[in-house]
């Protein structure tokens, strides 16, 4: 390329930025190129005269073209340009975050986790980086053994999109004592000696407490039911696709239309349903974050007239043993102040725990 050609000046600026901005050296203190340095480089390398104002204009033009820059008082740092990157591509940190969330999830089976991590690795912008080092952790992590969970999710989304009900089997984990060894094993729920067949109208998939749950409408109970997706098997969409499948539309659309799903998720504990109640809690101020994490930051708070280290707040919860269990973990730092009936139920819950330990002690002393 001929030197001194002013028509190419902006392209030379881009070349300089490419050479001096190291895309993966984000902690390199010298990665920024100042306007004065660009003026000097244009003169020395290409015999082109320029000034700072023109340099700023070139940078703005390159941004309009689609180049991305990080800017500071030290100058500019080229992040990338069209044909070098796409705005819809994942960054390394984003892919690592997705992989970590998947690896740490108990819900997703180990074999499927490794498969997806390998797929994510192909999207990495830097081939020298690997996510496979996490495979050792995956092998040791507590993971679901239900490899069909991906297909269950696919069928659930299909049923929701087609406005159809689903049929499925459901299992629990139970203790089994057998001649060949004692273990925790999968036990399907049964009815009349056979695997129970559930027929439900699916509406929402919800991530809660490190598990994936399906919220459905139960036509018999006329109420919401929750199912852990990793414990669902043989999910079939009731869309009449063949002679062995009925065509059954969803029910409960009006019911779900009147439910705030976000509020429902905030009030329920570990997906164990219960009667929804408005209660007042007395909370030590250092636990404000706990309340915000569990109920959101829009709860109503009040001064505690007895102790300035505490505050009162009004929250809506579904009363259950799981809520009481969560509450007991904070000792006297979170207390129920009203209604009196809920506080009495909580006291009885704590007494039942104490009685259980006392009964165990008496058994051990026999």
Phi, psi of 226 (to 5 degrees): -120, 140
Q: Where are the alpha helices (DSSP H) in the chain?
A: 9-20, 35-46, 52-65, 92-104, 110-121, 135-140, 149-162, 253-257, 261-267, 288-295, 321-328, 340-364
Closest CA to 19 of 31, 29, 7, 27: 31
Burial class (CB in 10 A: 0-12, 13-18, 19+), 287: middle
CB 340 within 8 A of CB 279: no
Please give the span between the terminal C-alpha atoms of the chain, in angstroms, as a whole number.
Answer: 97
Amino acid 65: pLDDT? 86
Report how far Cα 168 is from the mean position of its chain's Cα atoms: 25
Distance CA 112, CA 117 (A): 9
Which residues fall within 8 angstroms of residue 282, CB to CB, at 6 or more apart? Answer: 304, 310, 311, 312, 334, 335, 336, 337
Distance CA 95, CA 206 (A): 22
Distance CA 121, CA 125 (A): 9
Amino acid 27: pLDDT? 47
Domains and CATH numbers, the chain: 6-80 (1.10.10.10), 92-140 (no CATH), 149-257 (no CATH), 275-361 (3.30.70.240)
Distance CA 238, CA 307 (A): 58
Q: Is the peptide bond before 339 cis (omega within 30 degrees of 0)?
A: yes
pLDDT per 10-residue tile (average), the chain, 366 residues: 70 84 52 86 88 91 86 82 64 81 80 85 71 63 79 92 95 79 83 93 86 90 90 92 88 89 71 75 91 80 90 87 90 93 93 91 82
Amino acid 23: pLDDT? 47
Distance CA 240, CA 136 (A): 44
Report how far apart, in Å, the C-alpha atoms of 247 and of each of 198, 223, 240 are: 15, 22, 4
* DSSP states along 102-151: HHH-SSS-HHHHHHHHHHHHTT-S-TT--SGGGHHHHHHS-----TTHHH
Q: What is the pTM of this model?
A: 0.61
Amino acid 155: pLDDT? 92
Residue found by looking up tokens 């819809």 in the block: 88
């Amino acid at each position: 390329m001929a030197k001194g050609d002013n028509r190419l000046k902006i392209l030379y600026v881009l070349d300089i930025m490419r050479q001096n901005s190291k895309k993966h050296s984000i902690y390199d203190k010298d990665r920024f190129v100042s306007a004065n340095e660009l003026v000097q480089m244009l003169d020395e390398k290409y015999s082109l005269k320029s000034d700072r104002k023109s340099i700023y204009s070139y940078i703005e033009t390159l941004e309009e073209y689609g180049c991305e820059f990080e800017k500071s008082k030290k100058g500019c740092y080229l992040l990338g340009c069209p044909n070098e990157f796409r705005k819809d591509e994942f960054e390394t940190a984003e892919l690592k975050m997705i992989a970590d969330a998947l690896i740490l999830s108990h819900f997703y089976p180990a074999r499927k986790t490794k498969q997806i991590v390998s797929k994510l690795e192909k999207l990495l912008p830097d081939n020298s980086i690997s996510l496979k080092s996490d495979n050792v952790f995956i092998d040791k992590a507590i993971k679901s053994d239900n490899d069909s969970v991906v297909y269950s999710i696919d069928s659930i989304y299909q049923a929701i999109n087609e406005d159809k009900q689903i049929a499925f089997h459901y299992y629990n984990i139970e203790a089994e004592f057998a001649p060949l060894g004692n273990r925790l094993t999968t036990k399907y729920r049964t009815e009349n000696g056979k695997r129970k067949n559930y027929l439900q109208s699916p509406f929402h998939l919800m991530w809660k407490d490190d598990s994936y749950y399906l919220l459905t409408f139960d036509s018999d109970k006329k109420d919401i039911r929750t199912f852990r997706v990793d414990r669902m098997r043989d999910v079939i969409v009731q869309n009449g696709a063949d002679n062995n499948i009925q065509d059954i539309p969803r029910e409960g659309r009006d019911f779900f239309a009147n439910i705030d799903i976000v509020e429902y998720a905030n009030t329920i504990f570990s997906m164990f349903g219960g009667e929804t109640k408005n209660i007042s809690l007395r909370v030590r101020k250092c636990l404000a974050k706990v309340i915000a994490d569990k109920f959101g930051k829009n709860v109503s708070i009040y001064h505690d007239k007895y102790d300035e280290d505490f505050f009162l707040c009004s929250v809506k919860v579904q009363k259950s043993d799981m809520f009481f269990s969560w509450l007991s973990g904070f000792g006297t730092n979170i207390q129920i102040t009203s209604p009196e009936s809920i506080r009495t139920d909580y006291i009885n819950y704590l007494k039942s725990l104490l009685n259980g330990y006392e009964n165990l002690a008496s058994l051990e002393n026999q």
